[in-house]
Amino acid sequence: MSARLYGVDFGTSTMKIYKKNHGVIFDAKNIIAVADGDRVIAIGDEAFEMLGKTPSNIQVTFPVKNGVIADIANMLAFFNYVLNDLSKTHGKIAGAEFIVAAPTDITEVEKRAFFDLVASSDAKTKKIRIVEKPIANALGAGLDVTTANGVMIVDIGADTTEVSVLSLGGIVLSKMIPVGGNKFDEVIINNVRKKYNLIIGNKTAETIKKELACAVAPVNARTISVYGRDVVSGLPIEKEVSADFVYETLSELMYSIVDAVRIVLEKTPPEISSDIIDSGIFITGGSAKINGLDVLLTEETDLKINICKEPGNTVALGLGRIIEDSKLNMLAMTLKQTYYG
- pLDDT (tens place) for every residue of the chain, 341 residues total: 456 899 999 999 999 999 999 999 999 999 999 998 889 999 999 999 998 889 999 999 999 998 899 999 999 999 999 999 999 999 899 999 999 999 988 888 999 999 999 999 999 988 999 999 999 999 999 999 999 999 999 999 999 999 999 999 999 999 999 999 999 999 999 999 999 999 999 889 999 999 999 999 998 889 999 999 999 999 999 999 999 999 999 999 999 999 999 999 999 999 999 999 999 999 999 899 999 999 999 999 999 999 998 999 999 999 999 999 989 988 988 755 444 33
Distance CA 186, CA 176 (A): 19
Distance CA 188, CA 202 (A): 9
Closest CA to 117 of 335, 316, 325, 336: 335
How far apart, in Å, are the Cα atoms of 85 and each of 97, 140, 185? 18, 26, 32
Task: Give the full edge-to-edge strand order of the sheet including 97-102.
Answer: 23-29, 14-19, 5-10, 97-102, 128-132
Closest CA to 281 of 126, 136, 155: 155
**Could you tell me the pTM of the whole model?**
0.90
Strands 97-102 and 5-10: parallel
**Does the 5-137+314-340 domain belong in CATH 3.30.750.24?**
no
Distance CA 284, CA 137 (A): 8
Q: Tell me if 174 sits within 8 A of 104, measured CB to CB.
A: yes
User: Could you count the other beta carbons within 10 Å of the beta carbon of residue 3?
Assistant: 9
The three-state secondary structure class of 306 is strand
Long-range contacts of 83-91 (CB under 8 A, 24+ apart): 83/121, 83/122, 83/123, 84/122, 86/17, 86/25, 86/26, 90/19, 90/22, 90/25
Closest CA to 19 of 115, 130, 93, 77: 93
Domain 147-307, second-level architecture? 2-Layer Sandwich (3.30)
Residues of 50-65 as b/e, b for ≥16 C-beta within 10 angstroms?
ebeeeeeebebbbbbe
252: CB partners within 8 A, 6+ apart: none
At position 154, the amino acid (one-letter code) is V
All CATH 3.30.420.40 domain ranges in the chain, comma separated: 5-137+314-340, 147-307
